[in-house]
């Protein structure tokens, strides 16, 4: 490169320029190539202007053409007079151009058919010019970002973020959709309403969703408290005290854990029947609490990191082990308590297999998970799809809020589980 500009890394300038020039050339290469007939982006844009009617998103084509051309011009300008601000503007324009090229990948059919230029268009009829243009747009953007020393990771994060949020956006939109039914031929609803949520909680005779939600909430709250206590007690004993059979006990727990859990559900069901607990929510709490000790690993790993000297000092001061547990170990382990509680709450909140086996057809005892699954059965999905979506939102919302709020503790617990 001929010169240096502070704040820019001009060694990538040539490659950025190649990308932009290629993008500009591709405007004149075939955009559509079908049955031997070809038409470039520019000529397509011209005939779109002449066409009557047309789709609302026809401006995508104009924008793509214009922005690519502008970006080319800016590239030339920057070649002769390179300034930080100039390149920043260039980057901005190129980013928009890239976005519109990407939109065209999804919108071409609509635009071309809307204007009557094509019928039953498929993306395989897109010509070489389009693909070169698309690739060149990303190539150019990538290297302009390199020039301005912006991390090109933003491109990947944006694309991935859209993909990751797509299903969540869909379920939110469905929950707010006024038109009922499973099959709709469009993504954005034609009318928005809160009626789905209201229906969910009002017509009790058909769908006792409010009851399901309360069932889940009650069970999950109890399990959260009881399981957390049990896990903490178990891991305290296994971590802070030494006794004969400690290793043996841990090995037994590990071996039990290697059997698939619901293999023994039938037997559990029969035992519960013997105890007279089947078909009641108590059963869920009891069974979950009974197996809670198996999840001691993470909190034990955490307790192991608390120095032994702390305990020894307390013992010299006359504290009993129970006092050490309640007054010293627990206050030191806030993050692991939150992690365990969150984990047990989540587990209970979304448990499906056991409640579904336990309650069978007794709908009034369903938990939200069982109820929602029941709603997506193919016989009911058409009637209840929007209500299912509303239910999913109502069930997921508390968890999402809890999770985002307590993310920090969760991450600490997760990395703790890796350390061993």
Partner 1 sequence: MKTEYKDRNFITIFTKGDIFSKLSYIFCGAANVRNGQIIKGFLFFLLEIAYISFMIFKGGHLLHDLTTLGENTQGMAFNEALGIYEMQQGDNSMLILLYGVVAIVISAAFAAVWLFSIFSGENARRNKAAGKHVNNFIQDVVSLTNENIRFLLLAVPVAGLSIFTVMPLIYMILMAFTNYDSEHQPPGNLFDWVGIKNFNTLFAASDRLSATFWPVLGWTLIWGFLATFTCYFGGMILAMIINSKGIKFKKFWRTIFVFTMAVPSFISLRVVATMLGERGIFNVLLQQWGFTASSLPFLTNATWARASVVIVNFWIGVPVTMLMVSGILMNIPGELYESAKIDGAGPITMFRKITFPYMWFVTTPYIISNLIGNINNFNPIFFLTGGEPHTLNYYKGAGKTDLLVTWLYKLTKDSNDYNLAATIGIIIFVISAIFTLISFSRSNALKNEEGFQ
Whether 24 contacts 140, CB under 8 Å: no
Q: How distant, in Å, are the alpha carbons of 234, 253, 413 from that of 296?
A: 7, 10, 12
Based on its alpha-carbon atoms, the radius of gyration of the chain, rounded to whole angstroms, reads 31
Residues 295-334: x where in contact with partner 1 by CB under 8 A, - otherwise, as a string:
-------------------------xxxx-x---------
* Nearer Cβ to partner 1 (88/321): 321
Q: How far apart are CB 290 and partner 1 at their closest, in Å?
A: 3
Task: Assign 39 to helix, strand or coil.
Answer: strand
Whether 74 contacts 90, CB under 8 Å: yes
Helices (H), 115-191: 128-147, 153-175
Among positions 376-415, residues that touch partner 1 (CB under 8 A) are 376, 381, 385, 388-389, 392, 395-396, 399-400, 402-404, 407, 410-412, 414-415
Among positions 246-265, residues that touch partner 1 (CB under 8 A) are 249, 253-256, 258-260, 262-265
Which listed residue (46, 206, 214, 353) binds partner 1 by CB under 8 A? 353
Q: How far apart are CB 24 and partner 1 at their closest, in Å?
A: 25
Which listed residue (267, 316, 317, 379) binds partner 1 by CB under 8 A? 267
Would you give the DSSP letter of residue 192?
Answer: B
Tokens describing residue 218: 């009650």
* Nearer Cβ to partner 1 (7/161): 161
Among positions 126-165, residues that touch partner 1 (CB under 8 A) are 149-151, 153-154, 156-157, 160-161, 163-165
Binding segment toward partner 1, per CB under 8 A, in 40-48, 53-61, 79-87, 120-128: 120-128
- Cα–Cα distance measured from residue 167 to residue 268, given in angstroms and rounded to the nearest whole number: 36
Q: How far apart are CB 237 and partner 1 at their closest, in Å?
A: 5
Among positions 49-78, residues that touch partner 1 (CB under 8 A) are none
Tell me the CB-side half-sphere exposure of residue 163, using CA atoms within 13 A.
Answer: 6
Task: Assign 151 to helix, strand or coil.
Answer: coil
* Nearer Cβ to partner 1 (11/417): 417
Cα angle, residue 267 at apex, residues 262 and 271 outer, rounded to 5°: 125
State how far Cα 13 lies from the chain centre.
Answer: 36
* Nearer Cβ to partner 1 (40/234): 234
Which listed residue (38, 193, 373, 380) binds partner 1 by CB under 8 A? 373
Binding segment toward partner 1, per CB under 8 A, in 25-33, 79-87, 131-139, 166-174: 166-174
Tokens describing residue 187: 């993504």
- Cα–Cα distance measured from residue 231 to residue 234, given in angstroms and rounded to the nearest whole number: 5
Among positions 190-249, residues that touch partner 1 (CB under 8 A) are 230, 233-234, 236-237, 241, 243, 249
The reply on whether position 178 binds partner 1 by CB under 8 A is no
Tokens describing residue 96: 């928009």
């Amino acid at each position: 490169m001929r010169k240096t500009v502070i704040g820019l890394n001009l060694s990538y300038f040539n490659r950025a320029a190649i990308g932009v020039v290629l993008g500009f050339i591709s405007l004149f290469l075939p955009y559509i190539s079908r049955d031997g007939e070809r038409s470039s982006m520019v000529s397509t844009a011209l005939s779109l202007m002449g066409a009557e009617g047309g789709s609302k998103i026809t401006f995508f084509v104009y924008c793509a053409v214009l922005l690519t051309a502008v970006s080319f011009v800016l590239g030339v300008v920057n070649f002769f007079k390179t300034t930080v601000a100039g390149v920043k503007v260039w980057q901005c324009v190129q980013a928009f151009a890239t976005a519109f090229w990407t939109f065209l990948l999804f919108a071409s059919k609509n635009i071309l058919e809307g204007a009557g230029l094509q019928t039953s268009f498929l993306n395989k009829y897109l010509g070489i010019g389009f693909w070169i243009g698309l690739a060149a747009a990303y190539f150019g953007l990538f290297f302009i970002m390199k020039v301005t020393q912006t991390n090109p990771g933003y491109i990947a994060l944006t694309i991935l973020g859209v993909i990751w949020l797509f299903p969540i956006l869909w379920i939110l939109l469905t929950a707010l959709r006024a038109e009922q039914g499973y099959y709709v031929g469009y993504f954005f609803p034609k009318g928005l309403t809160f009626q789905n949520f209201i229906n969910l909680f009002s017509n009790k005779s058909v769908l006792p969703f409010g009851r399901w939600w309360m069932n889940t909430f009650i069970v999950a709250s109890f399990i959260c408290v009881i399981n957390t206590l049990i896990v903490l007690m178990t891991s305290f004993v296994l971590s802070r005290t030494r006794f004969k059979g400690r290793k043996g006990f841990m090995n037994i727990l590990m071996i039990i854990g290697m059997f698939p859990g619901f293999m023994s559900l039938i037997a559990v069901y029969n035992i519960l029947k013997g105890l007279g607990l089947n078909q009641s929510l108590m059963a869920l709490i009891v069974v979950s609490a009974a197996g809670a000790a198996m999840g001691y690993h993470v909190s034990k790993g955490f307790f192991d990191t608390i120095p032994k000297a702390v305990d020894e000092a307390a013992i010299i001061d006359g504290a009993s082990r129970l006092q050490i547990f309640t007054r010293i170990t627990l206050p030191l382990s806030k993050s692991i308590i939150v992690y365990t509680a969150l984990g047990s709450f989540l587990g209970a909140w979304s448990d499906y297999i056991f409640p579904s086996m336990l309650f069978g057809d007794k709908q009034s005892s369903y938990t939200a998970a069982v109820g929602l699954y029941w709603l997506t059965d193919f016989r009911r999905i058409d009637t209840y799809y929007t209500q299912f979506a509303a239910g999913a939102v109502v069930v997921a919302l508390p968890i999402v809020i809890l999770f985002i709020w307590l993310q920090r503790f969760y991450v600490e617990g997760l990395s703790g589980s890796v350390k061993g």
